[in-house]
Amino acid sequence: SLVVELQQGNPSLLFLHAAALEWQGRACLLVANSGGGKSTTAWALLHHGFGYLSDELAPIDLVAMQVLGYPHALCLKRAVPAPFALPAATISLGRTMHVPTTELPLASAWNTGRALAAVFHVAYTPSGWSTFHLPETQTRKISASAEVQDKTTYEDTNKYVPKTSVA
């Protein structure tokens, strides 16, 4: 395949099956099995200030530890949650929906490498929401967000709101 040829032509590049996003000038990767929620999670994060670098393949320069942009249509296998409606330009191919790059917030200067800042493993759950699995050291760093979830509830309007009673 083309990816194998590219890998052999430049062994310092690793092509990872992942979505790649930019956050504050650095790259974040979402890795998962096929159908695991990478693209859906990426689509949601693009609505919250992330920039698009790639979907399905994330080229990583192993020498510089940078993620390179490889923008192409974002491919979704499932309908997305209501607050993240797909644009009219989305192309439906039956089993998949493709959001053209013209409809995505591309990372600024997407053709330059971004330092690899984080790798998240995303797993699809039967309820339809993706979950993130973080190493223990990263879990401690986000304990504040867990506290917010303990003291809030998720309503149909897709917003966290204070619980009516907090124990």
- The pLDDT tens digits for 33-73 are 888 889 999 999 998 989 999 998 899 999 999 999 888 89
23, burial (CB in 10 Å: exposed 0-12, middle 13-18, buried 19+)? middle
d(CA 68, CA 20): 9
pLDDT confidence of 148, banded at 50, 70, 90?
A: very low
d(CA 151, CA 134): 21
The per-residue pLDDT of the chain, averaged, comes to 76
Claim: this prediction has a pTM higher than 0.75: no
Amino acid 116: pLDDT: 93
Q: Regarding predicted confidence, which is higher, 22 or 7? A: 22
